[in-house]
Amino acid sequence: MNIFLLSLKTIKSKPLSTGLSLILLALGVGLISLLLHVDKHLQAQMNNNIRGIDMVVGAKGSPLQLILSAVFQVDVPTGNIKLSEANALQKNWLVEYGIPLSYGDTYQNFRIVGTTQKYPELYSMKLAKGKLWSKSMEVTIGAAVAEKSGIRIGDTFLGSHGLSEGGHVHENQFYTVTGIFKFSGTVIDQLIVTGLESVWDIHDSHEPDEDHKGGSEAHDSEHLEMVNTIEANQKDDHNHKEEQDHDDQGKSLDGRQITAMLIKFRSPMGMVQLPRMVNENTNMQAALPNYELLKLFSLMGIATTTLSGVAFIVILVSGISVFISLYLSLRERIYEMALLRTYGASRLQLLGMMFQEGLLVALTGFILGLLLSRVGLVAISVLLKSDYHYDFSEFILLSEEVYLLMITLGIGFLASLIPAIHVAKINLSKTLADA
């Protein structure tokens, strides 16, 4: 038997008030910890995915939707753009590289993205097995796709049209898996990546060509106009020549469409010139992922801040509950305290006992809160896996949670402060005589 055990037994001897304090603390701590984890994970995930992408070009519509669909593959695309237009932009001297993306088909809810080999390169993807696709209808799949769908190298499957289940199945157009990427924590983990040609081949045979032709003719004049604009911006003869080359290629691919193009600028000047140029002079829109995400985070930030505020109030209320519980029981315990003093307990020991009780409740509440937040993370992870394909698998202790622990312990300390002062000032003979 010692003071620590006595504190423990005292806490256990009043299960109702201790329970209330613990529930409040665990709720507050759990909520804040959950928010911290989700926020951190989302930000890391998003920053991981926009690295190397300065601008996204796609059909006109909501810029945020364009970013979400083209970069994160979580929203529906805004529409299609002409490859020739996009390629023309790619030849601008301010553009370091452009990666065309063509998507809209799925297999078992995993998106099939037609692109160039620059796309996996952008995320420094490494192959776990097999090789990259080399011709039409060959695909390389992300780690999560391989794990959840169970498809392996050499397997074939049919894609279905549309981004939700139950879309039209492209019959007789079998994809063949040639490789599987290693897990990277980027969007590609959740994707089936193939060449642009695969997507075109499927839809050429599937969709009537007249629509495309008609559409593309109508855009031809605009296309030329845009090329002229780009050329006007270029002073370099070499680039000019390339532009000519591209024009020839563009004509051979006339009518080809892509969904979006990811663009990296050669210099910060691109940030100033290109978005405006694209938005004003072409039929496409340019969206800046950094800017859109900042907007998104600031919107999310309001919700996060409000929730954190509420959670802190809950923690504070639990601190008050600890205080009230200690203070109320003090009246009946003041005699016990005096008694302990007569049996040889020092003032310091009794003070330690009061603080131990407050801190023990705080610490237990904090641990319960962390457990609660981890349960919440598992729940979110299970919920989101089927929806957004993001893994919440990091259960590590965040540095913010260490601060949270200090705040919680601080509140436990403050809650025991006033009762402790009362105990320190205890008048032995008077207390014993009054009892």
Partner 1 sequence: MKFIVLTRELHTCMLSIKSLSFEYDSYNRFEFPDLQVGKREDLLVLGESGIGKTTLLYLIAGLLKPKTGKILIDDMDITRLSGKQLDGFRGSTIGIVFQRPHFIHALSLGENLALIQYLGKKTADPHRIKRVLDSLGLLSKYHVKPHLLSQGEQQRVAIALAVVNKPKLILADEPTSALDDKNCIKVIELLKSQTGGNNASLIIITHDQRLKSEFNDSVSLAPKMEMLPYS
Q: Whose CA is closest to 133, among 188, 191, 195, 202?
A: 195
Residue from 324, 380, 414, 432 binding partner 1 (CB under 8 A)? 432
Amino acid at site 91: K
Q: Residue 210, class by beta-carbon neighbours within 10 Å (0-12 exposed, 13-18 middle, 19+ buried)?
A: exposed
Does residue 433 touch partner 1 according to CB under 8 A? yes
Interaction of residue 435 with partner 1, rule CB under 8 A: yes
Closest Cα partner for 60 from 260, 359, 350?
260
Please select the residue that binds partner 1; options are 169, 213, 347, 421, rule is CB under 8 A. 347
2 forms part of the interface with partner 1 (CB under 8 A): yes
Does position 424 bind partner 1 by CB under 8 A? no
Write down the least CB distance from residue 3 to partner 1, Å.
8
Q: Does 16 bind partner 1 (CB under 8 A)?
A: no
For 93-119, letters b (16+ CB in 10 Å) and e give: bbbebbbbbbbbbbbebbbbbbbbeeb
| Number of Cβ atoms within 10 Å of the Cβ of 123 | 18
Cβ proximity to partner 1, 10 vs 69, nearer residue = 10
168 binds partner 1 (CB under 8 A): no
The residue (of 10 and 190) whose beta carbon lies closer to partner 1 is 10
Contact criterion met (CB below 8 Å) for 279 and 290: no
Distance CA 92, CA 363 (A): 60
Interface with partner 1 (CB under 8 A), residue total: 28
* Binding of partner 1 by 12 (CB under 8 A): yes
Residue 10 near partner 1 by CB under 8 A? yes
Q: How far is the CB of 321 from partner 1 (least distance, A)?
A: 19
Of 288 and 360, which CB lies nearer to partner 1 in the complex structure? 360
Does the protein bind partner 1 through residue 336 (CB under 8 A)? yes
Please state, as a whole number, how many other Cβ atoms lie within 10 Å of the Cβ of residue 171. 9
Q: Measure the CA–CA gap between 339 and 345, rounded to whole angstroms.
A: 9
> Site for partner 1 (CB under 8 A): which residue of 150, 154, 268, 344?
344
Which residue's CB is nearer to partner 1, number 9 or number 266? 9
Binding mask 285-324 for partner 1 (x = CB under 8 A): ----------------------------------------
Tell me how far CA of residue 69 lies from CA of 80, 141, 203, 214, 228, in angstroms: 12, 18, 20, 27, 30
Taking the least distance from each CB to partner 1, the nearer of 134 and 427 is: 427
Closest to partner 1 by CB, 313 or 348: 348
φ/ψ of residue 346, rounded to 5: -85, 165
Residues 300 and 292: their CA atoms lie apart, in Å, by: 12
Q: Measured from the CB of residue 357, what is the shortest distance to partner 1 in angstroms?
A: 11
Among 339, 380, 398, 409, binds partner 1 (CB under 8 A): 339
Query: Is residue 346 close enough to count as binding partner 1 by CB under 8 A?
Result: yes
> Judged by CB under 8 A, which of 47, 249, 342, 399 binds partner 1?
342
Measured from the CB atom, the residue of 2 and 221 that comes closer to partner 1 is 2
Q: Which CB atom, from 18 or from 408, has the smaller least distance to partner 1?
A: 18
The 392-421 site mask, x for binding partner 1 (CB under 8 A), equals ------------------------------
DSSP string, 263-330: EEESSTHHHHHHHHHHHHHSSEEEE-HHHHHHHHHHHHHHHHHHHHHHHHHHHHHHHHHHHHHHHHHH
- According to the binding rule CB under 8 A, does residue 327 interact with partner 1? no
| R_g of the chain, CA atoms, integer Å | 32
**Residue 384 Cβ vs partner 1, minimum distance, rounded to whole Å:** 46
The residue assigned the tokens 């965040």 is 398
260 by DSSP, 3-state: which? strand
Pairing of strands 169-181, 138-141: parallel
Q: Is 16 exposed, middle or buried (0-12, 13-18, 19+ CB in 10 A)?
A: exposed
Q: Which is nearer to partner 1, 298 or 429 (CB)?
A: 429
Binding of residue 345 to partner 1 (CB under 8 A): yes
Q: Quick one: which segment of 207-215, 260-268, 345-353, 371-379 binds partner 1 (CB under 8 A)?
A: 345-353
Minimum separation from the CB atom of position 344 to partner 1 (A): 2
Cα angle 66, 135, 195 (rounded to 5 degrees) comes to 5
The one among 154, 331, 343, 425 contacting partner 1 by CB under 8 A: 343
List residues near partner 1 by CB under 8 A: 1-3, 6, 9-10, 12-13, 332-333, 335-336, 339-349, 428-429, 432-433, 435
